[in-house]
Amino acid sequence: MNITIVGTGYVGLVTGTTLAELGNTVYCVDIDAKKVERMKEGVVPIYEPGLEEMFLRNIQAQRLFFTTDIKEVLGKSEVIYLALPTPPGEDGSADLSYVLSVANQIGELLMEYKVIVNKSTVPVGTADKVRETIASKTSVEFDVVSNPEFLREGFAVEDSMNPARVIVGSESEKAQEIMAKIYQPFTNTGIPIIFMDEKSSELTKYAANSFLAVKITFMNEIANYCEKVGADVDKVRLGMGSDDRIGHRFLFPGIGYGGSCFPKDVKALIKSGKQEGFDFQILEATEEVNHAQKIILVSEIEKYFEGNLKGKKIAMWGLAFKANTDDIREASSLDNIKLLLEKGAEITAYDSIAEENVRNVLGDQISYAQDMYSTLENADCLLIATEWSEFKNPNFELMAQKMKSKVIFDGRNMFALEQLEDTGFFYKSIGRKT
Ligand code: UGA
């Protein structure tokens, strides 16, 4: 099938590459001419394990093309995916101006039946708005489908090639058939495709992300309570997760959730609830608890240093909002840095993948180290903010030699408590014994 993808951000690029990998001819459109040129030359604009290989393979196979001109490719495609940004407006609601402006353009260019697919996370009712916008410009037949994306950053290739399910929101039989054909390689291998109406599909995405945000936040509260009563959250997590109604995943406590999705989607669902006069109380509490959780270790650090962080040298391992990504949007590391700097601390950080993005935001307000051990030179304590694999089994002796004091605050529960035994380190993690 011939497919156009409008927008080559995270979702658009991964969706386009995946659809090419499934054997379709895919035209990716973006208004950023420089980015389009770079992609044509084979440069992947995002960091994502395994993506580059798949991207280059499909360019070489002449299944993946890039252009700035939607006019050039629209006529060639039966299906048009919209993967455009929906940033939060000032009040937290999703800004649909990019989506609707492209819908307008499509309406003006439409010459024959096409399926327009909303791939971005968009509020309930957006498919209707896209339909109205296109219909105001043309009398040609078309369908609008909601087909939300569930991939995780850092696992984009894995998740997009092997999704837990495909959700297709459309009541048009013609559109359902076309979508079923696109995803046939998945259904052939047993991946379910679930058809529903557009609104239910749009809400499924928000409900799934918000539920996971609540799940993590609930576990963070349990972890904080474990500390009060002397329980161990690792044990509680295993005990709870073994019930397959609960499951083991997304039960890992830490310094809060971040990234470009959970915070934005929780906010947007609260906001769209309010517009209907509906209060998502559980989500409001989740936001509040998560906000406090992100900086929970700052007060522990302050307590350790008896309220005085002036001139204290803090080493930080990890800046990305989670491992395997260079993304720092809503990263807990940034909240910690801001607060620690305000309190007079000096920070040296190490994150070889996300450093450049942090430099663009913070410049030289903090120092950057080239490897995990040189970060520790003369440090009063170490704060771990991202769970990169390279931190999992460090040389504690070497760490002790480098650091001024043997003190670790671990926001990601990287180490088993046994690893620290006999090392002489003070070790504070989340929900476990100090
Ligand atoms: C999330 C969802 O997992 C995807 O299914 C969804 O498609 C995506 O949002 C989206 O809407 O585009 P992502 O933001 O890439 O994916 O990252 P996650 O792996 O879900 O992690 C989100 C945050 O939760 C991170 O800050 C992570 O550190 C935190 N987390 C995750 C925990 O604190 N504990 C856990 O057990 C799991």
R_g of the chain computed on alpha carbons: 24
The CATH class that applies to domain 2-196 reads: alpha beta
Q: What is the pLDDT of residue 88?
A: 80
**CB-CB contact of 317 with 350 (8 Å):** yes
* pLDDT bucket at 93, cuts 50 / 70 / 90: confident
Mean pLDDT over 40-49 rounds to: 92
- Per-residue pLDDT tens digits for 299-327: 999 999 999 999 999 999 999 999 999 99
**CB-CB contact of 424 with 406 (8 Å):** yes
Q: Is 261 a catalytic residue?
A: yes
Instruction: Write the CB contacts of 266 (distance below 8 Å, at least 6 apart in sequence).
Output: 209, 210, 213, 283, 286, 287
Tell me the domain boundaries of the chain.
Answer: 2-196, 206-292, 295-428
Q: What is the pLDDT of residue 350?
A: 98
Terminal Cα-to-Cα distance of the chain (whole angstroms): 58
d(CA 40, CA 59): 8
Q: What is the pLDDT of residue 244?
A: 97
d(CA 296, CA 284): 19
* Cα→Cα distances 141→23, 119, 137, 175, Å: 27, 20, 12, 11
* Cα→Cα distances 135→69, 173, 432, Å: 22, 19, 58
Nearest Cα to Cα of residue 157 among 318, 282, 16: 16
Q: What is the pLDDT of residue 434?
A: 83
d(CA 425, CA 428): 10
Give me the CATH code for the 206-292 domain, please: 1.10.1040.10
d(CA 48, CA 239): 33
**CB-CB contact of 349 with 358 (8 Å):** yes
* pLDDT bucket at 13, cuts 50 / 70 / 90: very high
- Per-residue pLDDT tens digits for 141-181: 999 999 999 999 989 999 999 999 999 999 999 999 999 99
Asked if pLDDT for residue 91 goes beyond 90, the answer is no
Q: What is the pLDDT of residue 288?
A: 98
Asked if pLDDT for residue 427 goes beyond 90, the answer is yes
* pLDDT bucket at 206, cuts 50 / 70 / 90: very high
Mean pLDDT of the chain: 96
Q: Residue 433: left (phi > 0), alpha (psi -120 to 50), or beta? A: beta
Q: Which atom of ligand 1 is nearest to the CA of 249?
A: 36
* pLDDT bucket at 217, cuts 50 / 70 / 90: very high
Q: What is the pLDDT of residue 162?
A: 95
Do the domains 2-196 and 295-428 sit in the same CATH topology, yes or no?
A: yes
Q: Which atom of ligand 1 is nearest to the CA of 265?
A: 11
Which residue puts its alpha carbon closest to atom 1 of ligand 1?
Answer: 152
Point out the catalytic residue in the list 28, 226, 261, 381.
261
Q: Which residues pair with 5 in a beta bridge?
A: 28, 81
Structure tokens at 166: 């495909």
Nearest Cα to Cα of residue 6 among 111, 99, 124: 99
**ipTM reported for the complex, 2 dp:** 0.95
| Percent over 70 (pLDDT), the chain | 100
How many CB atoms are located within 10 Å of the residue 93 CB?
17
CA of 41 to the centre of ligand 1 (A): 31
* Percent of the chain that is helix, strand, coil (3-state, to 5): 45, 15, 40
**Extended beta strands in 10-100, E state:** 25-29, 64-67, 79-82
d(CA 4, CA 74): 7
- Per-residue pLDDT tens digits for 357-405: 999 999 999 999 999 999 999 999 999 999 999 999 999 999 999 999 9
CA of 387 to the centre of ligand 1 (A): 13
Nearest Cα to Cα of residue 380 among 313, 306, 303: 313
d(CA 13, CA 5): 8
CA of 60 to the centre of ligand 1 (A): 32
H runs (alpha helix) in 188-331: 198-229, 233-241, 262-275, 281-294, 296-304
Which residue puts its alpha carbon closest to atom 3 of ligand 1?
Answer: 152
d(CA 115, CA 149): 17
d(CA 375, CA 386): 15
**CB-CB contact of 120 with 83 (8 Å):** yes
The binding site for substrate comprises: 150-153, 205, 250-254, 258, 322
- Per-residue pLDDT tens digits for 102-153: 999 999 999 999 999 999 999 999 999 999 999 999 999 999 999 999 999 9
* pLDDT bucket at 92, cuts 50 / 70 / 90: confident
Which residue puts its alpha carbon closest to atom 11 of ligand 1?
Answer: 261
CA of 78 to the centre of ligand 1 (A): 33
Query: In this structure, which amino acid lies at residue 395?
Result: N
Q: What is the pLDDT of residue 346?
A: 98
Cβ < 6 Å from ligand 1: which residues? Answer: 121, 149-153, 209, 212, 216, 250-252, 254, 257-259, 261-262, 321-322
Which residue puts its alpha carbon closest to atom 7 of ligand 1?
Answer: 150
Q: What is the pLDDT of residue 90?
A: 81
CA of 17 to the centre of ligand 1 (A): 22
Q: Which atom of ligand 1 is nearest to the CA of 322?
A: 28
Which residue puts its alpha carbon closest to atom 37 of ligand 1?
Answer: 250
Cα–Cα–Cα angle for 385, 388, 394, rounded to 5 degrees: 95
Q: Which atom of ligand 1 is nearest to the CA of 327?
A: 15
- Residue whose CB lies within 8 A of the most ligand 1 atoms, among 46, 250, 291, for a mutation test: 250
Instruction: CATH number for 295-428: choose from 3.30.465.10, 3.20.19.10, 3.40.30.10, 3.40.50.720.
Output: 3.40.50.720
